[in-house]
Amino acid sequence: MQLYVCIFCPLCLHTCLVFIHETSDQSKVGSKSSSSSNPSTAKTGSTRSSWTVPSYKESRELPTPRTEGEILSSSNLKAFSFGDLKAASRNFRSDSLLGEGGFGYVFKGWIDEQTLAPSKPGSGMVVAIKKLKPEGFQGHKEWLTEVDYLGQLHHQNLVKLIGYCSDGDNRLLVYEFMPKGSLENHLFRRGADPLPWGIRLKVAIGAARGLSFLHDAENQVIYRDFKASNILLDSEFNAKLSDFGLAKAGPTGDRTHVSTQVMGTRGYAAPEYVATGRLSVKADVYSYGVVLLELLTGRRALDKSKLASEQNLVDWARPYLRDKRRLYRVMDSKLGGQYPKKGAHAVASIALQCIGNDAKARPAMSEVLEKLEQLQDPKYNVTAPQVDTKRASSSGSVPRSPMKAQPSPRRLSGSGSPLPAVAGSPLPACRTAQVH
């Protein structure tokens, strides 16, 4: 069976959204032109002389397939010219580079808070400007998807999109600046200060809240690219999901999944989705479990610098998650043993449920969130002395920690590096592949 995803018509990129084929478990292939618009948000930011960032009022209005014109004009987003963003980022100077993802380079910039016109560096409001790599069609599609979703979804755990630029071939996005960057950088970048346990839990909770919001929306959204580099942190380590380029509308009616092209990031993508192209919110739950493992272990979802048998974090960590007495062996040594045993074990149990092979048996994000919130209770936060660590090193009968058995990791590339990330790179083979 050939499955296709919704794509934008290559012949009329600027106006047309076409479902070539979208199959689901119960529905069959359809082909339709987009038509619906969203009257409640029909106001273009570009026509406003004074513009302020929308408040954090939650909004659950979600995209139905719409034309590019409808998406751009109905969102309350500022339309920037390329010249504006060039000026705001000081000509995309390399020393303003904040990060690099699969589809774009992200630069720091400054704009006036009221008018949103470019301002002098250091004055006005700091923003993050994502400039798409010139990748043609796929890049354009992800850019538009991001405008579509982030233009309509507002929540304290989703990054705020301020505006966009569609000027000639240039496609850019302007976001609120997240001063502490991505979770990936904190966990894996060389020289980064280790994140204490309490912050890890806070980040996990914030990210779970963001995902829950998407999954429980009236029109469900599957995020599809949940990973450490897409979790951004504000000055107080509140987590916000960014990068909605792969987001997808969830199934409707009685359907449990949509079938679509396999996209995502190796190491984070759920096995059933990679194998069959069947996508449900439970694929996000799997990816969430992988990020929990990264928070617990300080290891990347996929690390090519390790022995073959230890490259995949899920495979490596799974045997240690169930048993309290074994868990310490995979805990991040950068925590220095400073974590509550009970709390860590509870997080490990949640992670284990999330990475279960049976998608249906994985918990809903709302359940995960509830459990994690309970762990903020002081009774879970007594940091036990490092009894286990000592035992591990002093007793010959306790097997060595698999963490310690590792050769020291090779240079890890973070998303801030101009070099391609090892584990964080999107699934290149799958991005263009159709599923058969």
Ligand X SMILES: Nc1ncnc2c1ncn2[C@@H]1O[C@H](COP(=O)(O)OP(=O)(O)O)[C@@H](O)[C@H]1O
Annotated binding site: 131
Per residue, the 3-state secondary structure of 50-76, as one string, reads: CCCCCCCCCECCCCCCCCHHHHHHHCC
d(C-alpha 5, C-alpha 23), whole Å: 8
Residue stretches of the annotated binding site for ATP: 131
Site for ligand X in 161-190 (CB under 6 A): 175, 177-178, 181-182, 184-185
Q: Is 210 in the site for ligand X (CB under 6 A)?
A: no
- 296 binding partner (options Mg ion, ligand X, none; Cβ < 5 to 8 Å by kind): none
Tokens of 422: 């090892």
Please report, as residue ranges, which positions from 231 to 270 form the binding site for Mg ion (by CB under 5 A): 243
Considering the complex, state which of residue 202 and residue 227 has its C-beta at the smaller distance from ligand X. 227
Does 277 sit near ligand X (CB under 6 A)? Answer: no
323 catalytic per annotation: no
- Strand locations in 321-374 (E): none
- Alpha carbon distance 403, 331 (integer Å): 8
User: Sheet harboring 104-111: ordered strands across?
Assistant: 78-79, 161-167, 170-176, 125-132, 104-111, 97-100
Q: Which CB, 159 or 351, lies closer to Mg ion?
A: 159
Structure-token match 């002081």, residue found: 378
84/146 with CB nearer Mg ion: 146
Contact assessment for residue 222 and residue 245, using Cβ atoms and an 8 Å cutoff: no
* CA diameter of the chain: 72
- Amino acid identity of 256? T
Is residue 142 involved in binding Mg ion (CB under 5 A)?
Answer: no
Cβ proximity to ligand X: between 271 and 420 the closer is 420
**Coil, helix or strand at residue 35:** coil
Judged by CB under 6 A, the chain residues 241 through 260 that form the site for ligand X are 242-243, 245
Provide, rounded to whole angstroms, the least separation between the CB of residue 146 and Mg ion: 10
Q: Are 172 and 86 in contact (CB under 8 A)?
A: no
Nearer to ligand X, 5 or 263 (CB): 263
Please say which residue, 38 or 182, places its beta carbon nearer to Mg ion: 182
Residue 401 and residue 317: Cα distance in Å, rounded? 11
Q: Which of 225, 243, 284, 332 is catalytic?
A: 225
| 138 contacts ligand X (rule: CB under 6 A) | no
Q: What share of the chain is helix, strand, coil (3-state, %, to 5)?
A: 35, 15, 50
CB of 180 to ligand X, least distance (A): 8
Q: Which does 423 bind (CB under 5 to 8 A by kind): Mg ion, ligand X, none?
A: none
CB 22 within 8 A of CB 257: no
Instruction: Tell me which of Mg ion, ligand X, none is bound by residue 98, counting a contact when its beta carbon lies within the kind-specific cut-off of 5 to 8 angstroms.
Output: ligand X
* Chain residue whose CB lies nearest ligand X: 101
24 makes contact, choosing from ligand X, Mg ion, none, with CB < 5 to 8 Å by partner type, with none
Beta carbons within 8 Å of 143's beta carbon, 6+ residues apart: 103, 132, 164, 166, 171, 173, 245
CB of 246 to ligand X, least distance (A): 9
Q: Is 146 in the site for Mg ion (CB under 5 A)?
A: no
Do residues 125 and 113 touch, judged by C-beta distance below 8 A? Answer: yes
106 binds ligand X (CB under 6 A): yes
Residue closest to Mg ion, measured at CB: 101
- Output the smallest distance, CB 413 to ligand X, in A: 12
Residue with tokens 């982030």: 150
Task: Name, in order, each residue with C-beta under 8 angstroms of 322's C-beta and a sequence gap of 6 or more.
Answer: 348, 349, 352
- Residue closer to Mg ion (CB basis): 246 or 295: 246
Give the interface segment with ligand X, choosing from 37-45, 101-109, 290-298, 401-409 (CB under 6 A). Answer: 101-109
**Distance between CA atoms of 313 and 225, rounded to whole angstroms?**
17
- If one asks whether residue 8 binds ligand X (CB under 6 A), the answer comes out as no
- Residue 277 backbone zone (phi > 0: left; psi -120 to 50: alpha; other: beta): left
Contact of residue 206 among Mg ion, ligand X, none (CB under 5-8 Å per partner type): none
Q: Kindly state whether residue 238 participates in binding ligand X, applying the rule CB under 6 A.
A: no
How many residues form the binding site for ligand X (CB under 6 A)? 26
What mask, x for binding Mg ion by CB under 5 A, covers residues 79 to 118? ----------------------x-----------------
Q: Give the separation between CA 261 and CA 426, rounded to whole angstroms.
A: 13
Binding interface with Mg ion (CB under 5 A): 101, 230, 243
| Catalytic center residues | 225
Binding interface with ligand X (CB under 6 A): 98-104, 106, 128, 130, 159, 175, 177-178, 181-182, 184-185, 229-230, 232, 242-243, 245, 415-416
